[in-house]
């Protein structure tokens, strides 16, 4: 099924478009990770406390939340490339804001624009994969997309850490803007993937489709898992840099730790198909949740670089398994003409997690310290596991609505 009623002609053309889509995911995610892991540290240089860091990261998620579903409708109606181009503009504006103004408010606005752009890139990329992948290849293609996206997350933190450490934050901000030039060119080529001919989605009607999609069998389970996965990942991304710095790691080593997290996320992609075949959806998703809980739970006991990198890598393995699976599960109960909106809903739920997680855990950390925040995150994930076990069937579709 094509994302336009008319498939790009030939398997070679589909593979080429998927490759370009994956390259765009790598470049855009790499741009995010050039500065993303260091935003908490940058806010610290501006005088922000830990609780303010959590508040900024949470508040910055409001704009991305608001545009998640309209982004999906835009992809359904006008094609994924239109969303990608808008995301490029958002990243470029964020870079300009960070370069021009150096205060907490500017970081809040820029981080919101980066979040909005990342929503657009995610919705665009997932829409392309869903549209031009035969059903039997879709899970693997989501895995390949996630692999390339993680590759950007592998190279981004060390590059960002090296640039920040040697040239300062301004140079890292400038690099984000520069990376948007090839990103726009790739997005333009992806215009070959047309919008769905039968689509009834539009910016005006996008929210009218939310309830019917949520009523589809299994969508509730997929969204719950997506929420919990992103809440755990955001807790780590928000406060792991601060913890790593507190035990004496340099900015360069912090970047390397985040690269290890993303590398782990890449390495587990090959386990998606055999893991699902062997353990079913239930087993693999429970394993992914358990890895995230273990990652957070052991962190406060660690002080050295290698153990901390290994603990972070457990979170990478968790997201490397859970996120492609939830992408694929999202397509099963939803008609193709609504996939963009469905992915927008999923991104919106994940964005809610990104708003709530740093605010709630930031308050807890401010009151009781970093270890308490990591322990609470681990316990929350453990508490979610029975719900996941009940909501997902193996090996078929999720049954929770």
**Tokens 């964020």 belong to residue:** 94
Mean pLDDT over residues 363-380, rounded? 94
- pLDDT-based confidence at residue 84 (cuts at 50, 70, 90): very high
pLDDT at 139: 85
Task: Note the pLDDT tens digit of each residue in 297-343.
Answer: 999 999 999 999 999 999 999 999 999 999 888 888 888 778 888 88
- pLDDT tens digits for 18-62? 999 999 999 999 998 888 878 888 888 888 887 788 778 777 777
Whether 158 contacts 255, CB under 8 Å: yes
Spell out the domains of the chain, with CATH numbers in brackets: 11-391 (1.20.1250.20)
pLDDT at 112 over 80: yes
pLDDT for residue 196 = 59
Confidence of residue 380 (pLDDT cuts 50, 70, 90): very high
Give the pLDDT score at 392.
Answer: 61
pLDDT(204) > 70: no
Say whether pLDDT at 385 is over 60.
yes
Average pLDDT for 369-394: 88
pLDDT reported for residue 398? 42
Give pLDDT, residue 202. Answer: 58
More confident call, 393 vs 98:
98
Q: Pick the residue with more confidence: 66 or 243?
A: 243
Higher-confidence position of 200 and 141: 141
What pLDDT is recorded for position 195?
Answer: 67
Residues of the chain with pLDDT > 90, as a percent, come to 35
Whole-number pLDDT of residue 316: 92
Range name among 58-62, 128-132, 343-347, 360-364 with the lowest pLDDT average: 58-62
* Band of residue 2 on the pLDDT scale cut at 50, 70, 90: very low
User: Is the pLDDT assigned to residue 395 strictly greater than 50?
Assistant: no
Supply the pLDDT for residue 399: 42
Segment among 75-89, 192-206, 247-261 with least mean pLDDT:
192-206
């Amino acid at each position: 099924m094509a994302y336009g009623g008319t498939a790009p002609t030939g398997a070679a053309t589909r593979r080429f478009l998927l490759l370009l889509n994956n390259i765009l995911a790598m470049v855009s995610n790499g741009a995010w990770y050039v500065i993303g892991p260091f935003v908490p540290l940058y806010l610290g240089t501006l005088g922000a406390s830990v609780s303010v860091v959590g508040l900024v990261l949470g508040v910055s998620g409001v704009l991305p939340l608001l545009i998640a579903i309209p982004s999906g409708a835009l992809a359904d109606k006008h094609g994924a490339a239109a969303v990608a181009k808008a995301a490029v503009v958002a990243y470029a504006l964020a870079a300009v804001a960070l370069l021009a103004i150096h205060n907490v408010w500017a970081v809040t606005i820029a981080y919101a624009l980066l979040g909005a752009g990342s929503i657009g890139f995610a919705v665009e990329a997932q829409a392309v994969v869903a549209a031009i992948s035969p059903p039997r290849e879709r899970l693997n293609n989501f895995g390949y997309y996630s692999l390339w996206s993680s590759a950007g997350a592998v190279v981004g933190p060390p590059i960002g850490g090296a640039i920040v450490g040697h040239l300062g934050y301004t140079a890292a901000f400038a690099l984000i803007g520069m990376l948007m030039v090839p990103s726009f060119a790739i997005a333009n080529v992806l215009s070959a993937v047309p919008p769905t001919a039968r689509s009834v989605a539009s910016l005006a009607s996008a929210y009218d489709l939310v309830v019917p999609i949520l009523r589809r069998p299994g969508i509730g389970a997929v969204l719950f898992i997506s929420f919990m996965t992103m809440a755990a990942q955001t807790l780590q991304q928000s406060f792991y840099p601060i913890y790593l710095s507190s035990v004496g790691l340099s900015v360069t080593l912090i970047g390397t730790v985040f690269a290890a997290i993303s590398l782990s996320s890449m390495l587990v992609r090959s386990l998606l198909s055999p893991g699902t075949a062997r353990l079913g959806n239930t087993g693999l998703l429970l394993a992914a949740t358990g890895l995230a809980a273990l990652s957070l739970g052991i962190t406060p006991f660690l002080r050295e670089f290698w153990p901390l990198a290994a603990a972070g890598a457990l979170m990478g393995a968790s997201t490397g398994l859970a996120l492609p699976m939830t992408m694929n599960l999202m397509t099963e109960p939803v008609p193709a003409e609504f996939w963009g909106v469905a992915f927008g809903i999923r991104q919106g739920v994940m964005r809610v997690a990104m708003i709530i997680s740093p605010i709630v855990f930031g308050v807890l950390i401010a009151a009781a310290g970093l270890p308490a925040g990591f322990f609470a995150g681990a316990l929350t994930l453990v508490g979610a596991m029975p719900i996941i076990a009940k909501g997902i069937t193996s090996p078929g579709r999720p049954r929770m609505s």
